[in-house]
Chain A
């Protein structure tokens, strides 16, 4: 177990002019579960590969447990990894697949057998030890890949979208299982995913990446509730955060879609000085509720689409020309074409600068 310290990593792939990672620095504490989250092409996998030693940075440094490993080959870094495509060895049976790393380390026979048995039990692979990967299902292959990684007692466990090739139900199951296993091991984990639900549910901290840089780093709930910029708010959450063009008037009111509600103190004070400023308002679908029309602090909106989801109902409404997603209880009786009143939960309102798209805080 060890911490990872990444400092100022620059990487450009040959034949490309765009920086795959642009001056990325990241500290992962010992035993921490860190998730790198971002859309494809944001540099998260590049970052992981550089930590793994499968790619080398152009500039910057990586150290694991205080040891500089920036340009060390992967086999000298004492880490293990789970690949997106599983990458199990098709010409070896499950037992030797799991034991591969230990065999390379020349671990004693008893130790090797004990570890393989432990990992196989943990991942429910015991009945399949003599099978070849070709005769396993996708989920079982991924278990083999995880078993192979955890027997290593490595300083750092790297995972590159390990769940993305599994079908939805299996992914849900395995996600919880993976969390349990990693908690048991307590190893420092760097986990790459583009699935924000995975990131939320697994991580101790999450680093949201965008165009080769870390857009926000923090506790998953913080990132969810207080996105640092519009990109993060739009990327995390399903449905993504609503963004509305608004305006803070000099009188301290928030104008959205031609109607106004109360604006928070800090913005009102600033607006009073400058004579009103445009802002981008962010609010999550679940923080909007239906309200009697015309009541204090409510906004009128026309319902366009009603999507019952079982646990809730998702509404697409038109608020003065802007589309807003609203999540209401499944019991709510709403039909398309109706006009309803909306109440924005004050404490859940987020504000972003219209120019920089960065979050505005008091």
Chain B
């Protein structure tokens, strides 16, 4: 539910009272308009490339060569997308990418949420070094991480599998997941958790029934980061796989020798799932019970 807090004083209809300076109101109105313009500009800046990619991906191969390109989809065709989807490794890559994204999400939440809770709630020995150590994985370039991992995975037979990429991505996602969820758990009052204990919950039940639901927005934010990171990560995925490529790795490997249409279609397919995921998670990100964070 939203609270309309700004009470509008309508300046147009009432006659100005003598001695009342209305200029601050005009300034306020002007600032509001400027803010709107800024919002529109930024939105355009973000949305325009996505729109252009979508436009190109949905146009026929010939229309891409036209000049100038039209901004309206005049000859809509699925031809480009179809050829792209039918080319080798793309569908497999798509499936792999979704699998990697979802498993990474699950794994990093399974480990990261309890870890974040521990960091937020318990004063255990070595908490400070642990928090610092967490960031080390992100401090190292992915290449530096991936090459030794590739060797390890080759030895253990994990190489060129979805699991290998999931493990790498989880390791990359965990620091953010832990830090984000820890800060959200810090925001859950201890009283509320204690109230749950008083009213019959075991510690685990109190966590599952009260603390976790209250941390949903943070968990949603962490999920988005994790999924999008995993979806976009290409370097590690390229090093750790050969045939079981994820979509970005697949597209990257064939990017140089592919036609323009292929690249647009690839770009489109890479953008859409992440957008869809964010669209669905948005609800949890901004909606708290009975109050909306705007």
Minimal Cβ-Cβ distance residue in A for B1: A135
Q: Judge whether B200 and A101 touch: CB under 8 Å.
A: yes
Minimal Cβ-Cβ distance residue in B for A152: B199
B291 within 8 A of A: yes
CB distance from B285 to the nearest CB of A (A): 15
A54 within 8 A of B: yes
Query: Which of A79-87, A241-249, A321-329 lies at the interface?
Result: A79-87
- Find chain A residues with CB under 8 A from B214 CB: 89-91
From A73, A88, A93, A134, B197 is in contact (CB under 8 Å) with A73
Q: What does DSSP make chain B's interface, helix, strand, loop or mixed?
A: helix
In the complex, A104→B195 CA distance in Å? 12
CB distance from A234 to the nearest CB of B (A): 31
From B1, B189, B198, A75 is in contact (CB under 8 Å) with B198
In the complex, A207→B200 CA distance in Å? 29
In the complex, A144→B223 CA distance in Å? 33
CB distance from B283 to the nearest CB of A (A): 14
Q: Judge whether A83 and B194 touch: CB under 8 Å.
A: yes
Could you tell me how many residues of chain A have their Cβ less than 8 Å away from some Cβ of chain B? 31
Q: Given known contacts A131-B290, A132-B289, is B198 in contact with A74 (CB within 8 Å)?
A: yes
B73 within 8 A of A: no
A52 within 8 A of B: yes
Q: Judge whether A135 and B290 touch: CB under 8 Å.
A: yes
Q: Judge whether B291 and A134 touch: CB under 8 Å.
A: yes
A105 within 8 A of B: yes
A71 within 8 A of B: no
CB distance from B24 to the nearest CB of A (A): 32
- Find chain A residues with CB under 8 A from B205 CB: 104
B191 within 8 A of A: yes
* Extra A-B contacts (18), CB below 8 Å, given A75-B202, A88-B192, A91-B289: A52-B198, A54-B198, A75-B198, A83-B191, A83-B195, A87-B191, A89-B192, A89-B195, A90-B192, A90-B289, A91-B214, A100-B196, A104-B199, A132-B289, A133-B290, A134-B288, A135-B290, A148-B199
Minimum-distance CB pairs A-B, first 10: A132-B290, A104-B200, A101-B199, A134-B290, A87-B191, A87-B195, A134-B291, A74-B197, A91-B213, A132-B289
Binding site for A on B (CB under 8 A): 1, 189, 191-192, 194-203, 205, 210, 213-214, 216, 288-291
- 28 CB contacts below 8 A, A to B, read A52-B194, A54-B194, A73-B202, A74-B198, A75-B199, A75-B201, A80-B198, A87-B191, A87-B192, A87-B194, A88-B192, A89-B214, A90-B288, A91-B288, A93-B289, A100-B196, A100-B200, A101-B198, A101-B199, A105-B200, A132-B291, A134-B289, A134-B290, A134-B291, A135-B1, A135-B290, A148-B199, A158-B198
